[in-house]
Chain A
Amino acid sequence: MNLYVLLKMVPDTVEELEVAADGKSLDSEFLRFKLSEPDDHALEQALILKEKMGGKVTVVAFDAPEVDDVLFTALAKGADRAVKIPLNQASLGTVASAKVLTEFFAAAGALTSDSLLLPGSQAIDDLEGELAPLLAAALKLPYIGVVCGVTGDAGKVTVLKEFAGGLRGEFEVTLPAVLGIQSAEKPPRYVPVAKVRAVMKSAQIEEAALASPEQPIQLDIERMYKPEAAGRAQMIEGSTEEVADQLVEVLAKNSVI
């Protein structure tokens, strides 16, 4: 199989996010980036498919802080090729990102009859929509999202899609196709730092020069701001002992002990 995984860096929400002076974007100065979680799962799913079916895994990413580390890590995990598109990801909305990637796949003549494009199902900054369906529509490929398992076969794949309440559906998808991956069938694998360092010395990240889109953000964003809590929890403070005592009172008040 010819597997493409699209990797995207997103702000790490464990850190405090600040709005920039323009009031319409995030202040990038203190942002720490990490690989979007569904994309990490998409990579794992691709590696599992490669192990089962054979083939090649190519990881593709826009330029973003720490993206080289992520691309080298993907190579260390078993990806065969890493491609960076030297356009600043943070300045592109999903619609523009999909346009650039459409050109990438068209120009590279990359799509073969056994190609599978695996973006994450969605990302926490998908204001303009999800990449997977936008890309599928532009490339006229079949698409399904919220995928949590993929089994390969000749010319098609069988996928599991999550609905709600633990209910899932099994779908058959004709290749080539775009699958928005929510979670891989196994947790993303761990790769030792030493192996990543070794790959950094031996492997190369390819660069694909593509034109910057004319309209990087499509939407008319009026402002970004931190939510003002409608209500705030009643906060309990004190030592661990004191907090636990008060929580016991809360449980008693709610008649559960």
Chain B
Amino acid sequence: MANPILVLAEQLRGEISDITFEMLGVGRALASAVGAPLYAVLLGSEAAPLAAKLGKADKVFVADNPQLNLAPAATVTAVLKTVIDQSQAGLVLVGCTNVSLGIGSTLAAQTGLPLVNFCRAARADGSAIQLTSQLFGGKILSDVKLPDGRGIACLYPGAFPADDGKSDQAPPVEKLDLPVEAPKVTFKQYIEPETGDVDITKQNILVGVGRGIQSQDNVQLAEDLAQVLGGAVCASRPVIDQGWQPLSRQVGKSGMTVKPRVYFALGISGAPEHWEGMQNSLCIIAVNTDPKAPIFDGAHIGVVGDVLELLPVLTDKVKARKG
């Protein structure tokens, strides 16, 4: 039998994150292909009741310890190493999320296992595991092989179907009672999202602006379109980092996940971090000067052009149409 596959389950504020089910789904497929069991490990206080949701795994290791809530990478890694030693796990799946960032790399540094980051696809090839990694903001893919199936794969959220990892059955649980050293990184408190004037997750129409909007003054052009459409402006990370839009308008990995009826991606290249937050929009209209921008691969409607030229004309025409 091949070495077990181990999923690091992710939870935030007592809820299992979608990435956990994505990992369990792909982990189950890989485990079946190589003839290995699938295990999961779940950490933090109140972990025990959450373990019942991880029924896709053949067994869940649970470390129910409040000191493991949002614990630093080194502390989580110490638990993972114990589980790997105990279970002889060969492949470890970790989420490529803000919550788990750094855990895979710390584990790689401490075990010498190879790590493949930003994975969007995974398949078994005999006893080897082949992973496809998305690099350079989504412009290049790289196929990487773990020849003996041993290693750490960080999986991109949204790349795998979460439903494949859900199950109604409760899995067998093995409790871990591990000493946890006093960490040098201590969680103090949550800072709740800034409540802006507008909740972008509740909008039917979002006019998303990216780097291509070029300046804070130009954001007004997007505001004009949003206003005539009865929607709101939102933005990708570079625009937020420049302070051109408040944090409450950020869409993507660190920001909001939105699903409007129409999403305009204006001057947004379509980097995976942004795509993660708006991919389920019902109609995505992308405008970009770069005909090879990755956004066109996922958008429904595409225009190669300058948003600054298009916006005023489009706003006028929408106004005219609405009378």
Once the chains bind, are B118 and A132 in contact (CB under 8 Å)? no
Number of residues of chain B lying within 8 A (CB) of chain A? 100
In the bound complex, CA of A228 to CA of B299 (Å):
14
User: Are B297 and A166 closer than 8 Å at their CB atoms?
Assistant: no
Dominant SS at the B interface?
mixed
Chain B residues near A166 (CB, 8 Å)? 193-194, 247-248, 250, 254-256
Chain A residues in 8 Å Cβ range of B301? 233-234, 236, 247, 250
Return B217 CB to nearest CB of chain A, in Å. 15
Complex contacts, B290 vs chain A, CB 8 Å: 14
Complex alpha-carbon distance, A52 and B232, angstroms: 37
Interface positions of A from 113 to 171, Cβ below 8 Å from B? 121-122, 124-130, 132-134, 136-138, 142-146, 148, 158, 160-171
**A165 cross-chain contacts in B, Cβ below 8 A:** 193, 255-257
Name the contact of A127 in the complex, choosing from B144, B248, B285 (C-beta under 8 A): B144
Interface residues of B in 280-323 (CB under 8 A from A): 282-286, 290, 292, 294, 296-305, 309-310, 313-314, 316-318, 321-322
Residues of A within 8 A of B250 (CB): 166
Contact between B139 and A17 (Cβ–Cβ < 8 Å)? yes
Contact A130 B191 (CB under 8 A): no
Given A13-B269, A222-B144, A250-B301, does the pair A134, B105 have CB atoms closer than 8 Å? yes
Q: Which of A81-89, A104-112, A177-185, A193-201 contacts B (4 or more CB under 8 A)?
A: A177-185
Residues of A near B256 (CB, < 8 A) are: 165-166
Of A129, A165, A231, A247, the most chain B CB neighbours within 10 A belong to A129
Contact A143 B139 (CB under 8 A): no
A231-B192 contact in complex given A128-B117, A129-B104, A137-B74, C-beta closer than 8 Å? no
Q: Is A210 an interface residue (CB 8 A)?
A: no
- A245 in the interface (beta carbon within 8 A): yes
Among A95, A132, A254, find the residue whose CB has the most chain B CB atoms closer than 10 A.
Answer: A254
> In the complex where A183-B241, A186-B243, A218-B114 touch, is A233 in contact with B205 (Cβ < 8 A)?
no
Report the separation of the CA atoms of residues A17 and B140 in the bound assembly, to the nearest whole angstrom: 8
**B105, B254, B309: which contacts A137 (Cβ < 8 A)?**
B105
- Which B residues touch A121, using CB under 8 A? 101
| In the complex, B86 has a CB within 8 A of chain A | no
6 closest residue pairs by CB, A with B: A166-B193, A233-B302, A137-B109, A129-B105, A229-B297, A142-B184
Given contacts A127-B142, A137-B77, A256-B205, could you give 16 more A-B pairs where the C-beta distance is less than 8 Å? A13-B269, A13-B271, A125-B136, A142-B185, A164-B257, A167-B190, A170-B188, A182-B254, A223-B142, A227-B297, A233-B284, A234-B301, A247-B314, A254-B261, A256-B204, A257-B321
